[in-house]
Amino acid sequence: MRAVIQRVTEASCKVDGQITGNISTGFLVLLGIEDADGKEDLDWLAQKIVGLRVFSDENGLMNKALTDVDGNILLISQFTLFAATKKGNRPGFNRAAKPEIAIPLYEQMILKLSALLNKKVETGIFGADMKISLLNDGPVTILIDTKNKE
């Protein structure tokens, strides 16, 4: 799994002009899933996301996690995070998981993050043409790949 995590003051997702997810302070998480991913990747990544200490403390240092600031998550599925770009100019997406693998893992990630935060996780719609709006705070953008844990 790959995640692009952006610290935001607000973020939203629209599908066909309708808002499907909307948050204030927290993380916009773009999540890519590949065929090799499983429950271990999901559990590790969810813990990592919720535990990231990138919110400012009283001294202006990035020392607080989502739960410390009552933060929210907008989780968006994004197969393009596994784009292969070595050859030519048209990316290939062979490493991205097919929907029959990706959808259950995406849904499990929603449940896991919700349980860790003890609140609802906002989402887009898997496979839809989504329009994402965000106000990146910092900017702070973190990339995490579960195949690179060390």
Q: What are the residue numbers of the active site?
A: 80
Other Cβ atoms closer than 10 A to 25:
16
Closest CA to 72 of 142, 140, 24: 24
Query: Would you state the structure tokens that stand for residue 69, as one six-digit string?
Result: 């600031």
Half-sphere exposure of 119 (CA within 13 A, CB side): 12
* Cα–Cα distance measured from residue 111 to residue 128, given in angstroms and rounded to the nearest whole number: 20
Q: Do residues 51 and 63 touch, judged by C-beta distance below 8 A?
A: no
